[in-house]
Structure 1
C-alpha cells in the first residue's frame, strides 16, 4: 500500500481552531440556517421520498381528490392509500376536507406543488439525457 503524501491545507486555522480561507473571493456573508427549519424540511423530503406517496401527490397536483378516486386511480386498497395520506398530512404536505362521508385531499400549498412538479420534471429530464 502506497503512503499518502501530506499536502498543505489551503485554510489557516484561527485561534479558536475554526478554519478560515486565505486569498480568494467570497460571495458575501453566510446566511444563518435555522436548524429546526432544516429538520422540518428534511421530514418533508422524507415524506416526498417514497415512490407510492409521490404518485399520490402527482395525482393531487391536478386538484382535490377523494380517497376512493385515489384508490381507483392507483388500483390500491383504501387502507394503503389512507396510511400514506395520514403520513403526508402529519407532515403538512397535504390537507383534508370532509364532505359528508367523503374526505377530500389536496396539496397543502403552492410550495409543495412546486416541489412535486420540479422533482418529477427533473427526473424526466434525467431520462432524456
Structure 2
C-alpha cells in the first residue's frame, strides 16, 4: 500500500500547482533534459531544442524564476544549469512511470 502523503496547507498546494504548471510545457521539459549533462549556453540550448532564441530565452527565464535553473553570465554569453537537484528525481519518477504505462499499452496492442 502506498505511503499516505502528509496533508499540505492551501499555500503549499498552490506552490505545488505552480511548480507543475511550470513543468507542463514541452519546450521547458526539453530544456531541462538538455541540461541534464551540465551547464550550457543559450546558443547551445537553442540549437539542441530546435527553438528560436526569443522563445528559448522566455522559457529559460520562466524556469529560472521558478528556481529550477541557475543563470550565469560570462561576457556576452549566458549559461544555464539545473539549480534544483530534485528535478532529476522528479523526471526519473514521471518518465519511469510513463515508460511502464506505454510498455503495458504496447503489449496489449500487440496481443
Q: State the TM-score, normalizing by the size of structure 1.
A: 0.70
Structure 1: runs of 5+ lacking an equivalent: 1-26
Contact 1:57 1:116 in 2 (8 A): no
Matched residue, 1:45: 20
Contact 1:44 1:93 in 2 (8 A): no
Count residues with an aligned counterpart.
102
Alpha-carbon shift at residue 31 of structure 1 (Å): 4.1
Q: Cα–Cα, structure 1 residues 32 and 120, in superposed 2: closer, same or farther, change >3 Å?
A: closer
Structure 2: runs of 5+ lacking an equivalent: 105-111
Give the RMSD, CA atoms, in angstroms.
Answer: 2.1
Structure with more of its chain in helix, by fraction: 2
Q: State the TM-score, normalizing by the size of structure 2.
A: 0.80
Bigger radius of gyration, 1 or 2?
1
Query: After the TM superposition, which parts of structure 1 deviate over 6 Å for at least 4 consecutive aligned residues?
Result: none
Matched residue, 1:106: 81
Q: Cα–Cα, structure 1 residues 127 and 69, in superposed 2: closer, same or farther, change >3 Å?
A: same
Give secondary structure in 2 for the equivalent of 1:128. helix
